[in-house]
Amino acid sequence: MKISFKYFSSNAFALLFVTLLLLNGCDRHQEPGAANDFVTPPEIVADKYARQLSANQSATQVQDVQTIHHPRKPILFGDLHVHTTFSPDAFITALPIMGGGGSRPPAMACDFARYCSALDFWSINDHAEGLTPLRWQETKDAVRECNAISNGGGNNSNNTNNSEPDLVTFLGWEWSQVSHYDAKQHYGHKNVIFLDTEDDKVPSRPIAAPQDQLGKAPMGALASNLLALRDFKNRAYYQGIQQYYDEIAETAKCAKDIDSTQLPDDCHETAKDPQTLFAKLNQWGFEHMVIPHGNAWGLNTPPGTTFDKQLNLAQHSPEQQFLFELYSGHGNSEEYRDWRAVAYDIENRAYCPSPSDNYEPCCWRAGKIIRERCDSAGIDQQECEQRELLAQQNFIDAGVSGHLTVPGQTTNDWLNCGQCDDCFNAGMDHRPGTTAQYALAITHFDEQQKPLNFRFGFIGSSDNHSARAGTGYKELGRLGSTEAHGVQSKKMARQLANDKREPHPYSISLSEMSDIGLNRKRNMERQASFWLTGGLVAVHSDNRQREAIWQGLSEKEVYATSGDRILLWFDLVEQENVYPMGSSVSSSVAPQFQVKAIGDYQQLPGCPSYIDDAIDAEQLENLCLGECYNPGDTRKVVEKIEIVRIRPQAYPNEPLEKLIEDPWQSFDCPTNQSSCEVSFTDAEFTESNRQTIYYARAIQQASPAINAGGLRCKRDANGVCIDVDPCYGDFRTDSEDNCLAPNRERAWSSPIFVYPSSQ
């Protein structure tokens, strides 16, 4: 980074000032903060459930639905994936000069979940590689403080709600294993969450995946202090950069091959793969769950990655890993497609596949970019053909960094390559082999041909990195409610530009490049058009207590939403028995199902009046972006209910294309009604004599949402994308522009797994 010293070259006082500034930043530690002790009034909490009961009782019945008479549990909404600036990536994107909001510690996450998004529960999941012993202890303390306030431990007169806490906070971390270039070594990201929070009921230290750049600061002390001079108001944050990373680097690595419970508390522990992570967690013996997430997100997932290598009893533990984060602010990981970003020949060598009708691999696009440049430069046609093929191969060999092999590339050059245009809010560079549908459809057969399948329940969450749990309640504040960020100064943006190279008519192998920072490895500039507000997890729970919520999660009586608080029930009905979503059922007859969905409330502007007693106007703007979850009395229209049927592989290598039926059945709901009920039967189940999986998708009428249009393709008469209009995180898109597009918000039930009685 180049920052001019011209103002200081002849000024001794200024040089002394810089020196003092450098010294002043040496011992700064990011504090966890203190949560606000104003508890949500009990009548507000009670009103949530009363509204649910009223909606359920008044819902219009569809004629062919046989009413089920069994008690309905309250539905609670939460976010099980929240980061603060204790996470290294969140710490850097929070730099004010990068458009961030500065320090967002754990206490702010507690306040946001309570006052802004009005959640029922949430969990903290900072990246384990950044949780030093001090930060881990502060995280535990902050979680306990948040729970104490929720249970009446604050100082104001409203703290009387001991039996029904206004907010339940779970403790956890994120295990982030990434291989940017080798699909065979990539296992992805998993959140680890614990039932309890006491020191003697959780591990002494978090368990991270090995990181090549662990403890390496993105800039030196001089650069960070010069930034402090440039943005003097936020100087403390820049001064803390070096110290933040020094804390990580100074933590000794734990010894390998020693029982996790026997290691010292103050070392940095790692697990190289899921098998090792599961084993270490079992050594502690504390109740926990492991939730894979961001699975089909191509920014961090190399082409060719599939779930196959994790479907075995070494890399998968059904007792620990039984939920799947289907949707987040990083995109939707639900839908399978048969196209691929990379293909393999009979000798397992990777090559670039040809485009299909609705998909262009980015390796193919890389070849076209180079070919167009080569032709425009008047170079021999045969030479241009060779350069095109080399560009395709260089792109493939570069994993998630393929964009770097095309010098001087821009977001517009890539058009909509790699995208699933007919998927709902798919992440950038969608990876079909790591989707929920693919995971449920594949089967692992051992040497005795004994089958093993994933049996995931579905949840949504935010994956928010600014301590904002449940950001999807209103579609506003793009640079605060999503992960979009970037330098707002044109001059600084030019200095920090990812690709300053000339657009040469040839490709460059990644092996010829050196010192590639993590931010440049991934195409963050293009990713800015895919950041969404977060999803939610909904749990059918007996009550608001921690144990009841945990039980609902453990029994997979949960569902995912894209952010709206849609009410959803999905049951298998067998005479007098009712089996809710998440159940496994053995049946000798055609299974009968019922689905019921009720739309979310239309939001009123501003915040509920009781928020005025909790935080002032300045805090409200900083914490909640000036807006809170504020439901009115009118609900949104549920437009459609779709049923997906998946029949897992019955023999090795059985093709998946006919096993995943999406949708298998589709039901239009009554016009302009907020509720919808349908029933259906699978008459083919008994004849097929194979296990079958069903889940329901409730879809609301379209409403505007941030980045729902993705790259905003401009298409020709044949529907081909010929130009894009990206939504940038930096100055190129106005910070007040929310890049809204129509979006059909939805909820996905956890599956019901049905087996023939003969099996």
Structure confidence by residue, pLDDT tens digits, 690-725: 999 999 999 999 999 999 999 999 999 999 999 999
Q: What is the pLDDT of residue 497?
A: 61
User: Using 50, 70 and 90 to split pLDDT, how confident is the model at 278?
Assistant: very high
- Confidence check: pLDDT of 139 > 50: yes
For 477-566, strand residue ranges (E) read 536-540, 558-561
Note whether 749 and 696 are within 8 A (CB): yes
Q: What is the pLDDT of residue 232?
A: 81
- In sequence order, the 6+-apart residues with CB closer than 8 A to the CB of 543 are 74, 164
- Confidence check: pLDDT of 181 > 70: yes
Structure confidence by residue, pLDDT tens digits, 557-578: 999 999 999 999 999 999 889 9
Q: Is 383 helix (H, G, I), strand (E, B) or coil?
A: helix
Share of the chain above pLDDT 70, in %: 90
Residue type, 217: A
Q: What is the pLDDT of residue 32?
A: 85
Q: What is the pLDDT of residue 9?
A: 41
Compute CA 373 distance to the chain's CA centroid, rounded to the nearest angstrom.
Answer: 37
Q: Is 43 helix (H, G, I), strand (E, B) or coil?
A: helix
Q: What is the pLDDT of residue 214?
A: 64
Phi-psi region of 137 (alpha: psi -120 to 50; beta: other; left: phi over 0): alpha
Where is average pLDDT lowest: 104-118, 134-148, 475-489?
Answer: 475-489
Q: For the residues 652-669, what does the mean pLDDT come to?
A: 96
pTM above 0.85, yes or no: yes
Q: What is the pLDDT of residue 55?
A: 74
CA–CA separation, 108 vs 85, rounded Å?
Answer: 10
Structure confidence by residue, pLDDT tens digits, 76-99: 999 999 999 999 999 988 888 888
User: Using 50, 70 and 90 to split pLDDT, how confident is the model at 492?
Assistant: confident
Q: Are strands 457-460 and 323-328 parallel, antiparallel or unpaired?
A: parallel
CA–CA separation, 37 vs 643, rounded Å?
Answer: 44
User: Using 50, 70 and 90 to split pLDDT, how confident is the model at 195?
Assistant: very high
Note whether 341 and 362 are within 8 A (CB): yes
Q: What is the pLDDT of residue 487?
A: 85
- Confidence check: pLDDT of 226 > 80: no
CA–CA separation, 60 vs 410, rounded Å?
Answer: 52
- In sequence order, the 6+-apart residues with CB closer than 8 A to the CB of 105 are 30, 31, 32, 33, 84, 85, 86, 142, 467
- Confidence check: pLDDT of 142 > 90: yes
Where is average pLDDT lowest: 50-59, 109-118, 434-443?
Answer: 50-59
- Confidence check: pLDDT of 651 > 60: yes
User: Using 50, 70 and 90 to split pLDDT, how confident is the model at 59?
Assistant: low
Q: What is the pLDDT of residue 493?
A: 72
Q: What is the pLDDT of residue 576?
A: 82
Structure confidence by residue, pLDDT tens digits, 6-26: 333 444 444 444 444 444 444
- Confidence check: pLDDT of 56 > 80: no
Q: Omega before 663 cis (within 30°)?
A: yes
Terminal CA-to-CA distance of the chain, rounded, Å?
65
Residue type, 410: T
Structure confidence by residue, pLDDT tens digits, 344-369: 999 999 999 999 988 999 999 999 99
Q: What is the pLDDT of residue 58?
A: 61
Which neighbouring-strand residues pair with 325?
A: 459
Better-predicted residue by pLDDT, 12 or 439:
439
Nearest in space to 468 (alpha carbons), one of 658, 596, 329: 329
Q: What is the pLDDT of residue 513?
A: 86
Q: How many CB atoms lie within 10 A of CB 144?
A: 16
Q: What is the pLDDT of residue 99?
A: 80
User: Using 50, 70 and 90 to split pLDDT, how confident is the model at 389?
Assistant: very high
CA–CA separation, 486 vs 99, rounded Å?
Answer: 5
Note whether 483 and 387 are within 8 A (CB): no
Q: What is the pLDDT of residue 414?
A: 97
Rounded mean pLDDT of the chain? Answer: 90
Q: Is 164 helix (H, G, I), strand (E, B) or coil?
A: coil
User: Using 50, 70 and 90 to split pLDDT, how confident is the model at 62?
Assistant: very low
Nearest in space to 212 (alpha carbons), one of 258, 181, 255, 170: 181
CA–CA separation, 524 vs 533, rounded Å?
Answer: 17
Tell me the domains of the chain and their CATH numbers: 42-214+268-337+433-478+531-701+744-756 (3.20.20.140), 343-419+485-530+707-741 (no CATH)
Q: Is 332 helix (H, G, I), strand (E, B) or coil?
A: strand
Q: What is the pLDDT of residue 636?
A: 97
How would you class 502 by CB atoms within 10 Å of its CB: exposed for 0-12, middle for 13-18, buried for 19 or more?
Answer: exposed
Q: What is the pLDDT of residue 213?
A: 58
Q: What is the pLDDT of residue 6?
A: 38
- Confidence check: pLDDT of 320 > 90: yes
Q: What is the pLDDT of residue 162?
A: 47
Q: What is the pLDDT of residue 759?
A: 64
Q: For the residues 630-653, what does the mean pLDDT come to?
A: 96
